[in-house]
């Protein structure tokens, strides 16, 4: 569960940086 949460949170900033 923790890994899933970390992955989701990591995807948010990554997408923002790609923008």
pTM: 0.08
Three-class DSSP labels, 1-19: CHHHHHHHHHHHHHHHHHC
For 1-12, write each residue's pLDDT tens digit: 566 666 666 666
Whether residue 15 has pLDDT greater than 60: yes
What distance in Å separates the CA atoms of residue 4 and residue 16, rounded to the nearest whole number?
Answer: 19
pLDDT at 10: 66
């Amino acid at each position: 569960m923790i890994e899933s949460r970390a992955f989701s949170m990591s995807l948010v900033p990554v997408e923002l940086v790609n923008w």
